[in-house]
């Protein structure tokens, strides 16, 4: 299959993340699939993160952020965006015209 593309939609993703614990599963999945030739795009909200304190990690995917940066929840809001529970899911396939990722 040529043009292997995957979109991962999740409530938080490294490096502009809420908490590392809620991002690590999708982070490792995105990097693993990229190593196998997939073109990965991750769609998530952006969080207001102090990047100078982030651990250095390798990123093999492209981030697309929705909206303005959200203030970090700091532990009590993992998996929540404005009070609504959120879950990660993936869309895969090969797109021609109309969707550019």
Per-residue pLDDT of the chain in tens (101 residues, 90 and over written 9):
567 888 888 888 888 887 788 888 889 999 999 999 999 999 888 888 777 777 788 889 998 888 777 776 554 444 444 444 455 555 555 444 444 44
Q: CB-based contacts of 48: which residues, under 8 Å, 6+ apart?
A: 69, 70, 71, 72
Q: Is 2 helix (H, G, I), strand (E, B) or coil?
A: coil
The pLDDT value given to residue 5: 87
Note whether residue 101 is domain-resident: no
Let me know if residue 99 belongs to a domain.
no
Query: What radius of gyration, in Å, describes the C-alpha atoms of the chain?
Result: 14
Give the per-residue pLDDT at 40: 92
Work out how many domains the chain is built from and give that number. 1
* DSSP code for 52: G
65 within some domain: yes
Report pLDDT for 91.
54
Q: Is residue 25 part of a domain?
A: yes
Residue-level pLDDT at 55: 79
Domain residue limits at 13: 5-93
Give burial (CB, 10 Å; 0-12/13-18/19+) of 62: middle
* Domain assignment present for 19: yes
Q: Can you give the pLDDT at residue 34? A: 93
Residue 72 lies in a domain: yes
CA distance 21 to 2: 33
């Amino acid at each position: 299959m040529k043009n292997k593309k995957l979109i991962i939609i999740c409530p938080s993703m490294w490096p502009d993340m809420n908490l590392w614990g809620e991002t690590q599963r999708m982070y490792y999945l995105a990097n693993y699939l990229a190593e196998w030739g997939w073109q990965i795009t991750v769609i998530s909200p952006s969080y207001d993160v102090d990047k100078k304190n982030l651990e250095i990690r390798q990123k093999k995917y492209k981030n697309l952020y929705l909206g303005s940066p959200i203030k970090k929840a700091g532990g009590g809001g993992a998996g929540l965006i404005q009070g609504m529970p959120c879950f990660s899911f993936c869309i895969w396939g090969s797109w021609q015209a109309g969707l550019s990722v």
